[in-house]
Structure formats: structure tokens, C-alpha cells
Structure 1
Amino acid sequence: MIWKLTGSIRYQLYMTYALIIVLVTAIYVGAFFFYESKQITLRSLMSINELSLSLSNKLDLEIQKIDDVTLSVAYSNLIKDRLLQLSGSRDMTEPASYSADQIADIKELSEIMVAAIGPTQSVRELTIYDFEGNRISTGALLKYTKEDVNSKSWYEEVIQGEGGIVIGMPEPDEELAQSFVFFKDKYFISLYRTYFGGFGEAQGIIKAQQDAETIFSSLIDLEHRNESRKRFYVMDGKGNQLYPYEGEDKTAGYYFEQRASQERHPIYINNPLSGEKELVSYHLSEETGWLLAVVISKKELFEPLRQFTVTAAAITLAILVFTLLFSYYAAQKITRPIARLHSSIKKIDLTGTIQPKRLTDSGINEIEALNLAFQNMQTKLQSSVDKLLYSQSQEITAKIAALSSQMNPHFLFNTITTVSIMAEEGMSEEILHLCQKLSSMLRYISSEESNVVSLGAEIDYTSAYLECMKIRYQDDLLYNIVITDELMGIPIPKLIIQPLVENCMKHAIHVEGPWEIFVKGYVNENEWLITVTDNGPGMPEDKRRLLVEKISELEETDRFPGLSIDGMGLLNIYFRLKFSYGEQMVFTIEERDSGFSITIGGPLSD
């Protein structure tokens, strides 16, 4: 069926419709997908950037709460006065020896510090160390002791801060853990500040503690929700990991190393443990110097895009299926009458008469009109095609016969002249030999049995011609014929080789002899070839140009060349090869440094 052929009209229409639909759909969906993916990407990046900024601000707020408590203590003259009173008291080393006034001072100082902490408990414990060795704590634990602040590990760093805050690492508080079971597994972050007297002299250090869970509550809450599997890391300015403050996740250093090597943020990096690609957004707090990293896997980040892609793909597939079915229906509707017309064309038989037959209405007027016009044309064509074929056949036969029967009158004239000269000189044997060859040649060219002969017969005729020329020109003519045995039996057009040799003689005698003619026949792959070569002056340029023009005219018009009375000529040979072998013919001319060469040929018959 026509539908099964990939070159059918229906197939072409269907494929054209389908291609247009697919391209339009792909371009639309692709553009929409590209736009939406960019928007989703931008929204995701903005979201993670805003989240990192928001969380960093919350951390700053928690630290600011603690710092506000230390500032209120540092600027409270009442607290400083009470500390000076305690420092001036005697026998404060043993609680049992405290006097009622001393206990009252400690209680009053503790109450002032509790008031500084406030009802929101922005710090879990507030401790003051003076340089006289006194330490008083309030909040979770009320305690007054004598301690040497100079022995603390954080002392030098706080003193060098000259009143600025110093934030410690999250770590357990053994003192609180021993006093309260609730604080046993708790981590605390301490904020330290030096406080000064009225003359700017350092008098002691304020330490405010808050549990890490409270400070990092915003991060902990987000992680517990686990909605997007985000992870958070916090490092201080020294590169110490502050969050997570417990557990085994200690990969924060890797993320911050990657940040240092990148110029743009957020950045994509590979998780050092899972190898999964992740997006990391950073924010550096100017208040605390803490660097917050928000980490989310690329897969999770683009989950909305993936869902959108799946939905878009399903919709696109449904549209494509519908439109392809529609295109199939449209192609079938258009090509059904064409298929009927095709069936009618296949039934054409120019030997008989086919009556016009109107097709059933296909709904496409142009195709129905085309079918009717074609069948009317077929009827008219039959009345003349037989006459045309017969006339053309007769014309071709007549032309081939005329071409085959030509013989150069100069050759006959010169041969008869040669015979008369030889008779005067008493060369009876040579005359007999010449007449035999001439008779053989005339018999060959006048035979009407066939226009196709064996290559061996054509070579015999050519040899007879050359022998006649040899008798006439004696030592001035040298020739050699080399033909492989496998060529002798192949059929070729009659009188196709001798005219090439005659053409060589025609041009070679204009130069001083001896004249050499070489005929070579051979097989090249699946074709036979005959090459005729001479050592003459070659074909004059004007005649060569005229031959090329005539051949071009023949190729363009496909009309037979006019006959010439002065010999067959190379153009006639070209035509006969063209008529016999079509595009498989071989006809090449080669100008040599000394002489002329022409090669003809055609395909070997199966």
C-alpha cells in the first residue's frame, strides 16, 4: 500500500504535520520551561539568601540580648559600689564567718544582678569577677566565692579586648551540671566583657552565660521540621565550629574553606561525605563575626522544578498524542483521493482504451479535478503515442543505418589511385591483396544484418583498413593493435573503432613520417575500453572547440546530430555510444606532448 512507503504523500504530509507540531510544542514548552526554571532558580537562590540573612540576624539578636545584660552591669554604679564593699570586707573566705551585713550585701548585689538579667532570662547565669579575687554568680546558681580571675583560660583574650565582647565556644558547665541535673548535658556559650571604674581603670570581668540550645533555637527548629533537609553551620572568626555544637557533624570547616576559594556566593560544592552536589549560602555577622552557612542539596532545592518538569512533560505528551492523531487524520483525508489516483495511474495501458472514471467525492475539489483531467489526458494520449513511438523508432533506425553506411569518399578515391599506380609498376600481388582487403571492408560496411557486432569483427575491419593504408604509405606508417582475448567476443556498435583510426590518419599525414598508430583494448573493472593513440600534431584547437560545443548541444537538447558526407566523425561516434550505453558510456580525449589519444568504452554485458 502507498501508506507503507516512506516516500508516499501521506507519509510526507503526516511527517510534515507531526514535525511542525512537535517543533512548535517543543519550542513553546522549552521556552516556558526555560523561563520557569530560571524563575524557580532565582526564587530558590533568593530564598536561601534571605534565610541565611534572617537566621544570622536572629543569632545576632540572641547575642545582643546577652550583651545588653553585660552592658547594664558594666555601667551600673550600684553594682560596682556593692562589689567594692565586698572587696573591703574582711574574713570573706569562709561562708560561716560572714556577718549579717556581709550576707545582706551579697543578697542585695545578687538581687541587683537578677534585675539586670530581667524577667525574660536572656542569660542563664551572670557572673562578676573583680581583680580583688571576688566572684559572685546569680541566675541559675547563686554563689559567692573567692577566685583568681587571672588563672582563667579566657582572661588574656578578654583583657586584650579592652572592653569589647569576647564570645566563648559552646561547652558544658561542670559547676551547673553538678548543681542541677537539668544542666547535665547542656552546652553553654559565654560572653565576656571587662568593666571599668570611674577613672577608666579595669576593675573586673563580667561573664554572661546562655545555653547553646536557646541561642541556636532558630536553627534547631528548622532542622527538626526537616521540610527541606537544610543544614546549618556556624563558625567564629578563628575558624572554630560553633554549630552544630555536639554530635559528629564536623564538616563545617570544609564548607568555609570552599567559601574562601570562591568569589561568588551562593556556590555549588560537593558534599565531602556523600559526594552530592549542594548549594551553600553564607552570611557574615558584623556584630559577632560569626559566619553562618546554610546548606541544601541541589536535588532538594530544585524539587519544585522537578515537579514542574514532570507535570509539563505529561501535558506536553498528551498534547503531542492528540495533535499527532489529528495530523494522521488530516493526512489520511488529503491523501485518500491521491491514493485512488495512484491506483488509476498504475492501471494505465497504452495498448488499450480506458474510459474516464469519476471518483467518489473526497471533499477536495482540486484533487478530484486533477483525477478527471488526468484520465481525459490519458485518452487523448493513447491516440498519438503509438504513432510517435513508431515514427521515433523508424527515425533512430534510419539514422543508425546512415551512420553505419558512411565511408570517406577520399579513402576510396585514394585507394583507386594507389591501385592504378601499383598497376603501372606491375605490382600485381600487392594489387590483389589490396583489392581483397577493400572488398572485405565494403562487404562489412554494407552488411545490414545488425548494427551490433563483436569487438573481434570490428578489429578485423580496422586491421584491413590499416593494411590498406600500409600498402599505400609503406614505411611511413607504423601501427600496432593489442587486444586482450576476453574482449574479442563482447558486442559493440558497428563501425565504432575504425573511424578513430581514420581520424588519426586524417591528421597525422600533415607532418613528416613515420606515423605511429597504437590501438589498445582492455578491461577496467566492469567496462571495456579501447584507446587509439597517434604521434601526429593532434586535433586543431578550432575543431576541438567545435566538437565540445556539439557534444554540449547534444547533451542539452538530446537531439541527434546532423549527418556529414565527409565521414562519420567523432561526434557521430559520441552519439552512437550515448545511444547504446547512456550515462555508462566512456568518451575521453587527451592531448599529449606529441600526438593525440582518444578512449571509448562501455559496460560489459552480463
Structure 2
Amino acid sequence: MRNKFKNIQSVLFMTYSLIIIVVFTVLVLWFYHWSSNLLRANATSYIVNMGKSLQEQTDSEIQKMNNVSLNVIYSGLIKDQFKKYLSDQGGVKVQESSEMPVPSTSREYAKELADILTAAIGPSRPVEQLYLYDLTGKVYGNGFDNSESAYVPGEKPWYKPVVALDGGKYIQGPILDKSISKYISIKDPQYTISMFRLFLDTYNSPMGIVEVKQYYNLILKSIINYTQRSTYQERILVYDQSGSIIFPLNAAATQYEYEMNLSKQFQAKGEGHSFYVDPLTSEKALLSFQHSDYTGWNTVIIVTEDKLFIPLNSFTQKIVLLAIFLLLFAILLSFVAAKKITQPILKIHRTIRSIRPDNLGSGRSPSMELNSGLNELDQLHWSFLRMSERLKESMETSLLAQSQEMQAKLVALQSQMNPHFLYNTLATIHVMAEENMNQQIIAMTENMSDFLRYFSSDQSSVNLQTELSHTDKYLEINSIRHGRKLQYSFDVDEEMFDLKIPKLIVQPLVENALKFATQFEPPWDIRITGQLQGNSWSVTVSDNGPGFSADSLQRLHSRIAEMDKNHNIPALQLDGMGLLNIYIRLKLTYGDGAQFSIHNLSTGGAAVTIGGSI
């Protein structure tokens, strides 16, 4: 017997389709590989360049502070005036160019010094506060705080490092600055970053220390603004050479200990990036490192791979949809081309249409020559005429077999899971995710995964223990969703666990019971019981819901009685016949040994019992 797929149209269609699929798949995979690598490189480059940009903007703000400190320490006028201010004890000094005494007070020196320092800061105010410290314990402020006060050098944590740097800059911060906070109207506490330099006189001898301050949120405004509008929900870390975290504010070093250790590999080069697996979340992430020689600060940008490649995922979806559309279109064209080549087959079709059931095998069927010029078609036509002679006697058997086959296939579809169950489960997971109910999410997704895997398997029959196990998972999913409103119990004889039964024969009953039980006020009670009786088994599913209406019971019993009387199986439906289809599956499996009964309970609710022979 020749293979029915080896006709001209099928061969041409499959050949054309195979060529199109292979060529198209290769092109799509190549294009996707090229474009995805490009998108990955662009996304990674964007993060790296953004790290450089943020570091440069931060360095620029520090540079402004540094310029002010340099203006102060290299200003001879400031040095002279500060020296007069500190050495003045309130007496009378005589000008060299005049014999008349001119009174000189600390207030006058302070005013002149304030004017000079204000000019040094400039109108754009790149710093908000400036302090001049002498080395004996006095400090003079200019800015919000214009007071003179005392300090203890040894108690200042920055004092020794500044003196040791011998004129080099020393950056401290951020710190909660109460001295500035009290001069402004903003209620929020203000953090500042300070830069210190040793202040030398004209003979290069230390005479004091210059401190310039700027608000923390102004120096790091580029980083703060970027985190608020970040594309990939990046985390940004800024820390100094000692490992103290500058951004985020008040972050614990232990929180970023792994990332800081990972960044050490880039210290020598001053920049770099790599992918790593976060030990806390097990997520793959990109780490971009930038070191500033100017400030000594390290800027690290951390972004998870899922967030980084969101554009790639969107692009992938579009490519897949476009590829499917183009592939289907190409296959359609191949089908049209193959069909056009095989037009002679239409003649065979006319012959087939002219045959009626009453002339099958009677010799009255058409016997004209096809003369298609193609051996395959001529032989197909001859085989059909020969087949018609034997078709009559086997038609009833074939139709019955086909009917049973179609019914069996459609019966398998009757156990479709209600899509509302899936929607409600996903909605519940969404709500639990917002509440950080991680353990419940894990339990629900594991049960859901197992249930869907069982639901979609090719097995037609399973043992009762497997069916009850997945029914329990279904109830557990609903229990997580409804909480204490749902109560259920299993009381099944363990000797029944190894019995082979049709798959998804118990769970739909539980689903049906839960559907109607939830129409009443909770708690909802679902009970599954099973027992052996001689050579038969039975399982009962009961609930405390509203029960079946009288009309529903009458219709269902009438349909069952009709099937039993006529010994026929009606056409199955995918919706609206759940219980009846379960009865049909039991009948097909156990024949007269099938058990199926439904009734309302005297205490309220309904019960459905199924079973079969062993």
C-alpha cells in the first residue's frame, strides 16, 4: 500500500515548505543573533557610559568646591586679612603713611574678611559655607554661618589627615550638618560634603585650615535625578577609598559588601564591567565600575539582566511574531503553488463526488480513464475505484470506529480547566507579590506548575493516588487564594491508591463542587471520600453549597436514562456538560460496571459518586 502523503501536491508542498522553513529559520536566527548581540552591547555600553557621565558630573561639582578652596589659600589678600583678624586684640594701630592713629577693631577686620571671602566664593555660590580655622582653636565662618567660635583640633576627625596632606585636598562626607540646618527654613535635615585644605602663610608656614561645604544633594544631584528616572531601575553605589558609602545616604557597607569586593578587580585599571550572580537574589546582574582619580570616589552601577534586556525581550517578541507571520505566509504560498501544479487531482475529486452510498460496490460507479499524464494520479484514481467496491461492506464499521475515536478525543477535551481559575490564581499571585508573601507565592506556583503539567500530559489513565494528589494541589491553590474560607478533607481507603482510573475524573467534580459552594457564605466545605465494595470502587465528592436544582437533576437523569436505553453516546460539548461527560467516560471505560449518581444532601449541599469495577 502506497503512502498517502506521497502524492504530488503533498510532496511539492512539503518540499517547498521544508526549504522555506530551513532557509527562513537560518536567516531569522542569524538576524536575531546579530541584532540581539547589538542590543546587548548597546545596553551594556549605555550603562558604562552613564557611569562615566555621572562620575564626571559629580567630579565637576567637587571641582567647583576645589576652585573656591584654591582661591582662598592662594589669595595673599585673604592671608593678610585673616592674619590681622586673628592677631588683633582690640588695640589701636597706626598706619605707616599717616601720623594720625586709626582705631582698628575685630569687627572691622571681620567685615573686611567677610567681604573678601564673599568675593572669593563668587556670585554663583558653588559652595554654601566657608570656614577658616586657625591652628590654636578658633574658627571663622562665612556664608549662612558668619559667627566666630572655638574648636578643639584633636577632636576633629579631619584635622590630622588634612595636616598630613600638606596642602592637598581632603574630602569628608556626607554628614548631618546641624550648623547649616538651623539657618534654613527647610525642615528636612541637611547633609553636606566638605573639602579641607591646609592654609599656608606667605612663608609657606601653616596658619590655618580652609573648609568649604556644599549640600550633599547638590553635589550628587545628577545621581539622585538619574535614580528617580532610571530606565533599567539601576542601583547606584558611590564609596570612597576607605570603603565608606557616600551614596545611597546612610546605607550600610555590609549591604554592598559583595559588590565592593567584586569591584576590586577593576581598581588598577580604574574602570570595568562584568556580569555576576547576586548571592542574595540569585539574579544575574551587570556591574559597571568607574574610579575617579580626582575625588578618590568609586561609582558602581548595578542592574539586573532582566531589567537591562527589557528592550531585547520586547524585540524578541516582535521578531517571533513577525517570523511566524512571514513563515505562515510563505507556507501558504507554497501550498498555493503545489495546488496549482496538481489541478488534475480535481478530476478525481469530481469522480468521488459522483459516487453515492447506494452505488458503492454495485458496479455503477464511474470508471472513466483519468489520463492525467501523471502515473501517481492515474494509480490513485484506479485505487479509488477498486476501494469503492470494498467500501460498502466496511463503511458501517469504519464509521462506528471513527465515531468512537472522535468521541474519545472530544471527551479528553471536556476536562479543560476553567480559564477563570487561571486568571484568579495569577491575580492572587500578583496581590501576594505586592505583599511580599514569598513563601505563599512559592507554594502556589509549585502547585500550579505540577497541576498544569499533570493536566497537559498525554496519559489517558492514572492511578487513583496520582489523581487525588493533583486534586489536592488544585484545592491547595484555591485554599491559598480563599484562606480559611475554604475547608476540605480526604477520606479514601489506601487500598484504592493503585487503582487505574481515567485521568481528570475526580478533579472536575471538585471544581464543580467548589464553583457552586462559593455562591454561598463561607466557610465552604469540600469532602472527598472513597471506599472499596467487593469488586468495585467508588469515590464521592460532596459540598455544603446550594445543591442541584430539581430541574437540573431531572435533565441530567433523563439524559443518562436516554443513553442507557438507546446504547448510544451523544456528541460531546466542551462547555455545559461536565458531569454528563464524566459519566460518558466512565461508561466507555467500565461499561455496565460504571457507577454514577448525583443527589442533594439532607444537611445541605450536593454529592456526586463515581466508580467502576475492579
What's the TM-score, normalizing by structure 2? 0.53
Q: Alignment partner for residue 334 of structure 2, among 327, 338, 352?
A: 327
Name 1:26's counterpart in structure 2: 25
Return the match for 2:175 from 161, 171, 183: 171
Which residue identity lines up with residue 266 of structure 1 in the other structure? H
Which structure 2 residues correspond to residues 85-124 of structure 1 after superposition, within 5 A? 85-90=84-89, 101-124=105-128
SS in 2 for 1:50: helix
Q: Is the 8 A contact 1:135 1:145 kept in 2?
A: yes
Among 192, 217, 237, which residue is 1:213 paired with?
217
The answer to whether the aligner puts 1:312 opposite 2:312 as a matched pair is no
Q: Partners in 1 of 2:185 and 2:30 — Cα distance? A: 62
Matched residue, 2:46? 47
CA distances 1:451-497 after superposition (whole Å, capped 9, x unpaired) = xxxxxxxxxxxxxxxxxxxxxxxxxxxxxxxxxxxxxxxxxxxxxxx
The match for 1:269 is 276
- Asked if 2 retains the 8 angstrom alpha-carbon contact of 1:280 and 1:293, the reply is yes
**1:162 Cα deviation (Å)?**
1.4
1:126 alignment partner in structure 2: 130
After the TM superposition, which residues 130-169 of structure 1 pair with which residues of structure 2 at under 5 Å, given as runs? 130-169=134-173
Change in Cα spacing, 1:48 to 1:68, as seen in structure 2 (3 Å) is: same
1:383-425 residue CA offsets vs partner (Å, 9 max, x unmatched): xxxxxxxxxxxxxxxxxxxxxxxxxxxxxxxxxxxxxxxxxxx
Give the alignment of 1:44-443 within 5 angstroms: 44-90=43-89, 101-182=105-186, 184-246=188-250, 251-261=255-265, 265-335=272-342, 337=344, 359=370, 367=374
Aligned to 2:454: none
TM-score in terms of structure 1 length:
0.53
Please say if residues 139 and 150 of structure 2, whose CA atoms lie closer than 8 Å, have aligned partners that are also in contact. yes
SS of equivalent to 1:141: coil
Q: 1:72 to 1:183 in 2, by over 3 A?
A: farther
Alpha-carbon distance between aligned partners in 1 of 2:75 and 2:120, rounded to the nearest angstrom: 9
Distance 1:29 1:210 in 2: 55
Distance 1:126 1:322 in 2: 74
Distance 1:176 1:356, change over 3 A: closer
d(CA) in 1 for partners of 2:342, 2:254: 72
List per-residue Cα deviations over 1:321-341 (Å, max 9, x = no partner).
122222233334445647979
The equivalent of 2:474 in structure 1 is none
Which residue type is aligned with residue 69 of structure 1?
V
Q: Is the 8 A contact 1:241 1:252 kept in 2?
A: no
Deviation of 1:15 (Å): 2.4
Q: Which amino acid aligns with 2:27?
A: Y
What is the letter of the counterpart of residue 106 of structure 1? A
Is 1:11–2:13 an aligned residue pair? no
Shift of 1:212: 0.7
DSSP-derived class of the 1:305 partner: helix
Larger radius of gyration: 1
Structure 1 position 175, deviation (Å): 1.9
Opposite residue 235 of structure 1, the aligned amino acid is Y
Task: Mark the CA change 1:322 to 1:369 in structure 2 (over 3 Å): closer, same or farther.
Answer: closer
> Unaligned stretches of 5+ in structure 1?
93-98, 345-354, 376-606
Name the aligned partner's letter for residue 288 of structure 1: T
Post-superposition offset of 1:371: 5.3
Check whether the contact 2:245–2:253 (CA below 8 A) recurs between aligned residues.
Answer: no
Aligned to 1:523: none
DSSP-derived class of the 2:243 partner: coil
Equivalents in 1 of 2:150, 2:377: separation in Å? 117
Structure 2 runs not aligned, ≥5 long: 92-102, 352-365, 383-614
Contact 2:275 2:284 in 1 (8 A): yes
Q: 1:112 to 1:252 in 2, by over 3 A?
A: farther
Partner SS for 2:198: strand
Shift of 1:33: 0.9
Structure 2 matches for 1:515-526, cutoff 5 A? none
1:67-104 deviation digits (Å, cap 9, x = unpaired)? 10000000011111112112212269xxxxxx972101
Give the residue type in structure 1 aligned to 2:158.
Answer: W
Q: Distance in 1 between matches of 2:316 and 2:76?
A: 67
After superposition, what is the alpha-carbon deviation per residue over 1:285-336, rounded to whole angstroms, capped at 9, x for unaligned?
A: 1111111112222122212211211111111111111222222333344456
Deviation of 1:170 (Å): 0.4
Tell me if structure 2 keeps the 8 A contact 1:234–1:290: yes
CA contact (8 A) 2:140 2:147 kept: yes
Q: CA RMSD of the aligned region, Å?
A: 3.4
Q: Structure 1 residues 341, 206: closer, same or farther in 2, change over 3 A?
A: same
Q: Is contact 1:234-1:252 (8 Å) kept?
A: no
Structure 1 CA distance for aligned equivalents of residues 79 and 376 of structure 2: 114
User: Structure 1 residues 357, 5: CA separation in 2 closer, same or farther (over 3 Å shift)?
Assistant: closer
Residues in 1 aligned to 2:283 and 2:223: alpha-carbon distance in whole angstroms: 22
CA contact (8 A) 1:279 1:296 kept: yes
Contact 1:6 1:12 in 2 (8 A): yes
**Aligned equivalents of 1:147, 1:89: Cα separation in 2:** 19
Q: Structure 2 matches for 1:560-599, cutoff 5 A?
A: none
In 1, Cα distance between the equivalents of 2:376 and 2:194?
98
> Which residue identity does 2:143 align to in structure 1?
G
CA distance in 2, matches of 1:139, 1:113: 9
Any idea what the Cα deviations from partners look like across 1:273-294, whole Å, max 9, x if unmatched? 4332221211111111111112
Cα pair 1:176 1:184 within 8 Å, conserved:
no
SS at match of 2:232: coil
Partners of 1:125 and 1:138 within 8 A in 2 = yes
Letter in 2 for 1:155: Y
Misfit runs of 4+, over 6 Å: 338-344
Closer/same/farther in 2, CA of residues 7 and 265 from structure 1, 3 Å limit: farther
For residue 105 of structure 2, give the secondary structure of its aligned residue in structure 1: helix
1:353-390 alpha-carbon deviations (Å, 9 max, x no partner):
xx9965377xxxx6389959x99xxxxxxxxxxxxxxx
**What SS does the corresponding residue of 2:218 show, helix, strand or coil?**
helix
Measure the CA separation in 1 of the matches of 2:48 and 2:34.
Answer: 21
Secondary structure at 1:108's aligned position in 2? helix
8 Å Cα contact 1:168-1:190 kept in structure 2: yes
In structure 2, the CA distance between the partners of 1:250 and 1:309, relative to structure 1 (3 Å rule), is same
Q: Tell me the amino acid that sits aligned with residue 309 of structure 2.
A: F
Aligned letter for 1:294? I
User: Could you tell me how far 1:6 is from its partner in structure 2?
Assistant: 4.3
SS across alignment from 1:189: strand
Question: Residue 184 of structure 1: CA displacement?
Answer: 4.9
Deviates more, 1:298-307 or 1:252-261: 252-261
SS at match of 1:229: coil
